[in-house]
Chain A
Amino acid sequence: MKKTFELEDLDCANCAMKMQEAVLKIPGVKGCEVSFIKQKMTLEADDADFDKILKQAVKTIAKVEPDCTVLL
């Protein structure tokens, strides 16, 4: 499953890159793109684990950039 989420207060492009890298490292993530310009994150993972992985991704993003929140 591939889903796109909006991000709020994503203020720096370098952080977007770091978020993407960090999310890609989560086990089970098949693909992830954090676009600073679109202020969006696209996450791809297996249907069965998607919700679990999404939660982890949200946590990871908060770790990299505390100001930025994922709009679910």
Chain B
Amino acid sequence: MKYKLTKKQKKMLTRIIIAVVLLAVIAVTLHFVEVPWWAELILYAVPYAIAGYDVLKTAFINLIHGQIFDEKFLMTVATVGAFVTGEYPEASFVMLFYQVGELFQSIAVGRSRKSIAKLMDIRPDSATVIREDREIEVSPDEVEVGEIIIVKPGEKIPLDGVIVEGASTVNQAALTGESAPVDKGYSDNVISGTLNLTGVIKIRTTSTFGQSTVSKILELVENASDKKAKVENFITKFARYYTPAVVIAALVLGIIPPLFLGIGSWEIWKEWLTRACVFLVVSCPCALVVSVPLSFFGGIGGASKDGILIKGAGYMEVLSKIDTVVFDKTGTLTKGVFEVDDVHPNLISVAELKDIAACCESFSSHPVAQSIVRAHEGHIDKSLIGEVNEIAGKGVKAVVDGKTYYCGNGQLMDMCGAKWHDCHLTGTIIHVAREDAGVVDYLGHIIINDQIKEDSEEAMRSLKNAGVKRLVMLTGDKKSVAENVANKLGLTGFFAELLPAGKVSKVEEMLADGKGRLAFVGDGINDAPVLMRADCGIAMGAMGSDAAIESADVVLMDDKPSKIADAIKIARKTMRIVWENIIFALGVKAVILILGALGIANMWFAVFGDVGVLIIAVLNAMRCMRRLNK
């Protein structure tokens, strides 16, 4: 990845190069030529000043402002201390090394920030609006609801709207993480932030830019830091005590031991002052303070690439501890759309039964009827259909190809006198009978159910693999239907025939007896109270739904329940990286402090303990941004 240095960074780089060359020349020269100590001091002070004059300046200003726990001030004390104790080359090299580290850090952090910003680069820059028959390019803010915009192939769709002319395929990956493009044509809804791939389309806008999906998402991700994680608060508190504690320890170390070991000996004072300087250098908690929020930010950014919006680091923490996931049934685990599950014919073939049922139902707008029509392969020859009578609450009686058919529930079968039987499967059962020359034959039945989503089963498997112990479904639906879905998906429990208030109390019961955290997954439209009550409310299918984005803590842009396991995995990975960094940074600092106190670790160690650790922690934090391997 290319990264352009800023002006300040370039200047720093130049100073570092000059200082390095000078230092090398001085070190080599002094190797061969003997000079008095004061000459040596002056010689080493030159590269020291070139590399670190800004550090000295800031330290001085901070001292005036009473900021004595500032990193630069401490660095100054440490290096000046090294000059005082006669370690001229060390003082120079340490300052140089520190500045190299600072530059590195600045570049690493700058790069991280850039790539996170890039992750969220879904904001459309302009919109082409048609006004008075002319195409005008304007900022998306200036387009009003109901105006017609034109989007060419390769352009981002700037505002939510409906296609009024043209057709195209649209890449929604920026919002959903799903890379397969979607076909869109006349009267289809399109969503801002998605990419128009193939055709020119005209869109009538249905929202202002501020209200559009893309603005909502950006706002959500950018303000994701609102709810801080516990670790973040811990680090903030820790940092507040760490620096003063280490500085006080340095003072104690520099003064107390020489008082006892040899108050009059310069050698002993020198030795302990050096050790104190090591303490001062590692006293900055920067590695923790940068890498922890950076990890969370990276994790949130990475998850948003997969169509998972997490509203704050705090929820990331909660997600990582989830052991109970409670689902709403309709629209979450199932599609919320009726479809033909099975066809059980009697006397005739499956195809024939489907054909007859489709003909009978082809004039009805009832969802069950439509599912039968959808299940019919091929063309329905409507010219064969004669008189159709709907029998309220029972079904239809239709004349097809000269014969009379009955298509409906058991009551209808009783009415026409067919010898029907119930089905062993659960769901909505549509029976079909034929009346031909006074003889009524039962032709079988069609089983219709709300379909389980394709990836629901896979989702449950991966949640179990991820260590989620309880998978519970709540539904207002009949017990038999709920049981059927629960068994198919291998859920650990279900509660059926619940009213909305019942869902809340069930969740509260589970909250009370669970050890880990509980997540509730719903479609976000009628589940708001439950979403709020759960430790972590997850709303699904949020493309274009404001309600879901507002009430949930985690928002899944598409309808896939398998994203829940992904979200948990991302959260765990992020938490692992956060803890890795905390333990690594504190561990290295602790070791250096101990070795420093014993006189084993010198200034070189100390500078590594400061900037080296920071750079490694930042690089590690960047791993949070990477998407899961699939």
Residue interface bits B292-307, CB-to-A below 8 A is 1, else 0: 0110010000000000
Say yes or no: is B119 at the interface (Cβ < 8 Å to chain A): no
- Which residue from chain B places its CB closest to the CB of A33 in the assembled complex? B225
Majority-rule SS of B interface residues: helix
Query: Shortest beta-carbon distance, B116 to chain A, in Å?
Result: 7
Contact A14 B8 (CB under 8 A): no
Residue interface bits B55-85, CB-to-A below 8 A is 1, else 0: 0001001100101001100000000000000
Say yes or no: is A17 at the interface (Cβ < 8 Å to chain B): yes
Residue interface bits A19-51, CB-to-B below 8 A is 1, else 0: 000000000000001011111000000000000
For B67, the chain A residues whose CB sits under 8 A away are 18, 63-64
Query: Shortest beta-carbon distance, B616 to chain A, in Å?
Result: 15
Checking B65, B109, B239, B294 against A17 with a beta-carbon cut-off of 8 angstroms, the contacting residue is B239
Contact A37 B106 (CB under 8 A): no
Query: Shortest beta-carbon distance, A28 to chain B, in Å?
Result: 22
Residue interface bits B320-339, CB-to-A below 8 A is 1, else 0: 00000000000000000000
For A17, the chain B residues whose CB sits under 8 A away are 236, 239, 289
Say yes or no: is B470 at the interface (Cβ < 8 Å to chain A): no
For B8, the chain A residues whose CB sits under 8 A away are 9
Known: A17-B239, A33-B225, A37-B116. A66 touches B284 (CB 8 A): no
Residue interface bits B217-260, CB-to-A below 8 A is 1, else 0: 00000100100000000001001000100000000000000000
Contact B225 A12 (CB under 8 A): no
Query: Shortest beta-carbon distance, B365 to chain A, in Å?
Result: 50
Query: Shortest beta-carbon distance, A40 to chain B, in Å?
Result: 9
For A33, the chain B residues whose CB sits under 8 A away are 225
**Interface residue tally for chain B (C-beta within 8 Å):** 28
Contact A13 B290 (CB under 8 A): yes
For B312, the chain A residues whose CB sits under 8 A away are none
In the bound assembly, the distance between CA atoms of A66 and B56 in angstroms comes to: 12
Checking B65, B102, B116, B290 against A63 with a beta-carbon cut-off of 8 angstroms, the contacting residue is B65
Checking B62, B65, B102, B286 against A13 with a beta-carbon cut-off of 8 angstroms, the contacting residue is B286
Contact A14 B236 (CB under 8 A): no
Say yes or no: is B537 at the interface (Cβ < 8 Å to chain A): no
Say yes or no: is B344 at the interface (Cβ < 8 Å to chain A): no
For B286, the chain A residues whose CB sits under 8 A away are 12-14
For B61, the chain A residues whose CB sits under 8 A away are 66
For A11, the chain B residues whose CB sits under 8 A away are 102, 106
In the bound assembly, the distance between CA atoms of A64 and B58 in angstroms comes to: 10
In the bound assembly, the distance between CA atoms of A14 and B614 in angstroms comes to: 12
Known: A17-B289, A33-B225, A35-B225. A12 touches B236 (CB 8 A): no
Query: Shortest beta-carbon distance, B459 to chain A, in Å?
Result: 32
Known: A38-B222, A64-B67. A14 touches B289 (CB 8 A): yes
Quick one: which of B1-19 are within 8 Å of A by CB? 8
Quick one: which of A39-72 are within 8 Å of B by CB? 39, 63-64, 66-67
Contact A37 B239 (CB under 8 A): no
Contact A14 B58 (CB under 8 A): no
For B112, the chain A residues whose CB sits under 8 A away are 37
Residue interface bits B101-127, CB-to-A below 8 A is 1, else 0: 010001001001100100000000000
9 shortest A-B CB distances, which residue pairs? A13-B290, A13-B289, A14-B289, A63-B65, A37-B297, A14-B286, A66-B61, A13-B286, A12-B286
A contact set with B: CB distance below 8 Å: 9, 11-18, 33, 35-39, 63-64, 66-67
16 examples of A-B residue contacts, CB within 8 angstroms: A11-B106, A12-B71, A12-B290, A14-B71, A14-B243, A14-B284, A14-B285, A14-B289, A15-B70, A17-B289, A18-B67, A36-B290, A36-B293, A37-B294, A63-B65, A63-B67
